[in-house]
Amino acid sequence: MAMSDLRDLSLPRLLDMPPLWLLLFVGLARLQAVRWPVWPVELPLVDLAAGVLVGGGVLLMGLALMEMRRARTTIVPHMQPEALVTTGVFARTRNPIYLGDLCILAGLVLFWKAWPSLVLVPLFAWLVTDRFIRPEEARLHARFGARFEHWTQRTRRWL
């Protein structure tokens, strides 16, 4: 994230970033796991799935960030993109960073055995879709037109 990207943002927009929302949702899941544990039985396959989700989410985010850096475009959701990135992981999903966030959240919920907090996963998906993805898609459509439309026809929003 370039400093010039941050200078153009007001404090409320600077604080309205997906990683901060992810931290809030992770914090809520952890709070539920510690304060109101539900059936904390050790299940090795669940721990394995949790590790795969968290590790896969981090990997997905890293690959997406590398593609965006290679294209020299912003990673800040509220900024105007310089390029339409459709290569690498963006050829499989239009939102690999948000998908990575979802994987990390789901993996931590499973690892902590915070079963009631599984409801946070679809709530987080709804939140990032409404607050970030739809406005980003509108900016991409306005800037890249037919190229963006073609990409949306061949690449799903999530998976």
pTM of the model: 0.91
pLDDT computed for residue 3 by the predictor = 46
pLDDT computed for residue 41 by the predictor = 75
pLDDT computed for residue 5 by the predictor = 54
Give the Cα separation of 4 and 53 in Å (integer): 33
Burial of 131 (0-12, 13-18, 19+ CB in 10 A): middle
Domains in the chain: boundaries:
3-9+18-154
Q: Which residue has the tokens 């890293």?
A: 62
Give the Cα separation of 98 and 1 in Å (integer): 16
pLDDT computed for residue 1 by the predictor = 44
Q: What is the pLDDT along the chain (159 residues), one digit of tens a residue?
A: 444 555 566 767 667 999 999 999 999 999 999 999 987 778 899 999 999 999 999 999 999 999 999 999 999 998 999 999 999 999 999 999 999 999 999 999 999 999 999 999 999 999 999 999 999 999 999 999 999 999 999 999 999
- CA distances 143 to 30, 71, 99, 133, 149, Å, are 40, 15, 24, 15, 11
Give the Cα separation of 21 and 129 in Å (integer): 12
pLDDT computed for residue 15 by the predictor = 78
| Backbone dihedral angles phi then psi of residue 66, each to the nearest 5 degrees | -65, -45
Amino acid at 114: A
Closest of 132, 148, 128 to residue 140, by C-alpha: 148
